[in-house]
């Protein structure tokens, strides 16, 4: 009882600290690139029961983000005919939500608060998994590591889907590990149903789950197989476990049905025909069926009249597939590519993760080899993280660390095993080393406040713009800071080349004038790092001859051109 109370107190304190730090960033940063668009899609779900305002993302997290703005009277306003491709609509959607109705900052704060709903579940599943593997104190340590991680705090502070997806995927991974670790037919049904529900939530949070969950499963299976290789005498135990798993596998049928029902529920059980009659003719039907045939009439009726579930999900998955095939502009080590690099996310982890966190991960791995083996179940979090990393490395969509955010919760659980080792060794030096790394990680996190999104460790700090771009560094978050800087320094005429969806007028830059990549303005010139890197527009190489007078926030350079 005392242990449970102590755990509740520790997790409450960690959650309160994280929430306070998250909320403290709301006034500092204007809306980042995707926030208005995500909130607008959620408002459409509430007010129209439709999910086609950018169907490339499922609606679960969007429900949470749009809840308070919806209750505050913010309306969804269409910006024109929608396909799944949102690129032409994102700036317009942001303006209709934040700038054309209500108070800009109030609406933005309400939307960002939606992610706080997921914070308790991050603590719950991180602690449960770490405590089950390594002990109660490791559960506390894992929660401290993950809630102090700048990348986690960055996504939790924005009205985007990445943080909610991270929590949902962590829950699904936890139940998947439990189901594999405890193949007891008597308990498998409940575990299977919990697993199915969690999988449904993960897929309904972000379509990346369709790629990540099989990778997590393969990682967990590989860890269990690796653990048995360390212990050759456990062959008989393995055979018994396999037999139990075959019996427990019967629970997967109701689990799969519950997963599908959960996904459909996230879409409010919406059903509609495949096509609208206004979109006639359909090339495939016209080319394969004879004119004026009864079969053609029946096919048209079926396509336009028979309602089917999850049509927006099918559209969204198709968009993701097309997006991956076409690639996406990305920046790495001063180079821009359309289809990315296989090692992109390795670099991201290397420079966007605090050095003490990396040290704890490596130290936990070193302990495995020094002990000569470890339980395969205990390898699970690391194997799941590696599975996600290997699955995403071939992806041509190299946009930012947010695309692999779930890795951090899994790695925090794995890194916490160092605390258990400190207790086993009963060595003051070992305990001091682990405590020092944990404290260093905390100091890094506190020093990063409030700039969690552009956090880089000492490997790349000071030259971030030469290593990574886009949402790793500049997602349009510092326009409000630029407005403050201009006012405080009495700058009256400013030329602006800004990467973001917020209008300069919304933050007090009414007198600024926009300039394009081919222009060479004089006087005060402000340029977003993403545009300076040449990711989405030609790089203004002429500015290389000039030193910036100031760096506003982490993402806008200010020049004075004679």
Q: How many domains are there within the chain?
A: 3
Neighbour-count burial of 231, counting CB atoms closer than 10 A to its CB (0-12 exposed, 13-18 middle, 19+ buried): middle
pLDDT of residue 184: 63
Residues 125 and 101 in one domain: no
Q: Of the candidates 116, 147, 181, which is a domain's last residue? A: 116
Domain presence at residue 110: yes
Q: If pLDDT is split at 50, 70 and 90, which confidence band does 228 have?
A: low
Within 13 A of 337's CA, how many CA atoms are on the CB side? 14
Residues 176 and 150 in one domain: yes
Omega within 30 of 0 (cis) for the link into 281? yes
Domain presence at residue 138: yes
Residues 6 and 135 in one domain: yes
Which residue matches tokens 């790089």?
539
Nearest to 439 by CA among 145, 7, 19, 154: 145
Q: Of the candidates 427, 448, 469, which is a domain's last residue? A: 448
Residues 179 and 255 in one domain: yes
Q: The whole model's pTM is what?
A: 0.91
- Kindly report the backbone phi and psi dihedral angles of residue 130, in degrees, each rounded to the nearest multiple of 5, phi listed first: -65, -40
pLDDT of residue 17: 97
Q: Return the H-helix or E-strand segment holding 495.
A: strand 494-497
Query: pLDDT digits over 80-96, tens only?
Result: 655 445 556 777 888 88
Domain presence at residue 144: yes
Residues 112 and 256 in one domain: no
- Taking CA atoms, 229 is separated from 104, 223, 369, 460, 521, in Å, by 59, 10, 13, 39, 66
Domain presence at residue 95: yes
Query: pLDDT digits over 288-313, tens only?
Result: 677 777 777 777 777 778 888 888 88
Query: Helix H segments across 25-149?
Result: 35-48, 60-71, 90-94, 104-113, 119-134, 136-147
β-strands 494-497, 513-514 pairing: parallel
Q: Which domain holds residue 399?
A: 2-11+118-265+333-448
pLDDT of residue 83: 47
At residue 265, does pLDDT exceed 70? Answer: yes
Nearest to 419 by CA among 139, 127, 6: 139
Residues 503 and 392 in one domain: no
pLDDT of residue 312: 85
Residues 95 and 169 in one domain: no
Domain presence at residue 225: yes
Quote the percentage of the chain above a pLDDT of 70: 87
CA distance 295 to 416: 64
Residues 107 and 172 in one domain: no
What is the pLDDT averaged over residues 349-358? 97
Q: Of the candidates 71, 100, 116, which is a domain's last residue? A: 116
Domain presence at residue 16: no
Domain presence at residue 127: yes
pLDDT of residue 87: 59
The CA-CA-CA angle for residues 337, 340, 343, to 5°, reads: 130
Residues 157 and 216 in one domain: yes
Residues 261 and 398 in one domain: yes
What is the pLDDT averaged over residues 112-135? 96
Residues 245 and 339 in one domain: yes
Residues 123 and 111 in one domain: no
Domain presence at residue 326: no
């Amino acid at each position: 009882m005392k242990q449970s109370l102590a755990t509740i107190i520790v997790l409450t304190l960690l959650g309160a600290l994280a929430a306070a730090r998250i909320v403290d960033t709301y006034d500092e940063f204007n809306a980042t690139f995707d926030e208005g668009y995500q909130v607008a899609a959620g408002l459409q779900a509430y007010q129209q029961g439709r999910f086609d305002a950018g169907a490339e993302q499922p609606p679960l997290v969007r429900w949470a983000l749009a809840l308070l703005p919806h209750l505050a009277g913010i309306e969804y306003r269409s910006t024109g005919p929608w396909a799944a491709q949102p690129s032409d609509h994102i700036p317009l959607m942001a303006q209709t939500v934040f700038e054309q109705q209500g108070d800009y900052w109030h609406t933005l704060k309400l939307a960002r608060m939606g992610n706080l709903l997921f914070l308790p579940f991050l603590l719950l599943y991180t602690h449960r998994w770490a405590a089950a593997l390594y002990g109660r104190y490791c559960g506390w340590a894992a929660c401290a590591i993950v809630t102090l991680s700048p990348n986690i705090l960055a996504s939790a502070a924005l009205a985007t889907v990445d943080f909610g997806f991270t929590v949902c995927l962590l829950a699904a991974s936890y139940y998947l590990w439990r189901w594999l670790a405890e193949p007891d037919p008597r308990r498998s049904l409940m575990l299977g149903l919990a697993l199915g529900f969690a999988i449904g939530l993960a897929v309904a949070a972000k379509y990346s789950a369709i790629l990540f969950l099989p990778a997590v499963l393969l990682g967990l299976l590989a860890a269990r197989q690796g653990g048995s290789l360390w212990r050759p005498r456990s062959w008989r135990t393995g055979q018994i476990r396999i037999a139990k798993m075959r019996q427990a596998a019967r629970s997967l049928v109701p689990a799969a049905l519950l997963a599908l029902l959960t996904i459909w529920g996230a879409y409010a059980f919406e059903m509609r025909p495949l096509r609208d009659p206004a979109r006639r003719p359909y090339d495939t039907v016209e080319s394969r069926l004879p004119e004026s045939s009864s079969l053609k009439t029946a096919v048209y009726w079926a396509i336009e009249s028979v309602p089917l579930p999850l049509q927006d999900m099918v559209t969204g998955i198709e968009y993701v597939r097309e997006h991956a095939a076409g690639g996406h502009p990305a920046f790495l080590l001063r180079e821009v590519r359309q289809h990315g690099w296989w090692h992109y996310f390795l670099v991201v982890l290397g420079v966007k993760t605090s050095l003490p966190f990396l040290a704890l991960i490596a130290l936990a791995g070193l302990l495995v080899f020094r002990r000569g083996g470890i339980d395969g179940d205990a390898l699970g979090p690391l194997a799941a993280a590696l599975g996600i990393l290997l699955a995403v490395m071939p992806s041509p969509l190299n946009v930012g660390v947010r695309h692999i955010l779930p890795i951090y919760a899994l790695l925090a659980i794995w890194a916490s095993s160092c605390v258990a080792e400190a207790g086993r060794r009963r060595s003051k030096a070992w305990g001091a080393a682990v405590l020092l790394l944990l404290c260093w990680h905390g100091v890094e996190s506190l020093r990063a406040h409030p700039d969690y999104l552009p956090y880089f460790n000492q490997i790349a700090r000071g030259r971030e713009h030469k290593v990574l771009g886009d949402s790793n560094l500049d997602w349009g978050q510092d326009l409000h800071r630029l407005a403050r800087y201009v006012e405080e320094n009495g700058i009256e005429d400013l030329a602006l080349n800004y990467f973001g969806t917020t209008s300069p007028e919304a933050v007090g830059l009414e007198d600024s004038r926009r300039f394009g990549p081919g222009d060479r303005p004089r006087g005060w010139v402000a340029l977003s790092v993403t545009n300076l890197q040449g990711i989405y527009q030609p790089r203004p190489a002429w500015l290389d001859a000039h030193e910036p007078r100031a760096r506003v926030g982490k993402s806008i350079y200010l020049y004075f051109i004679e």
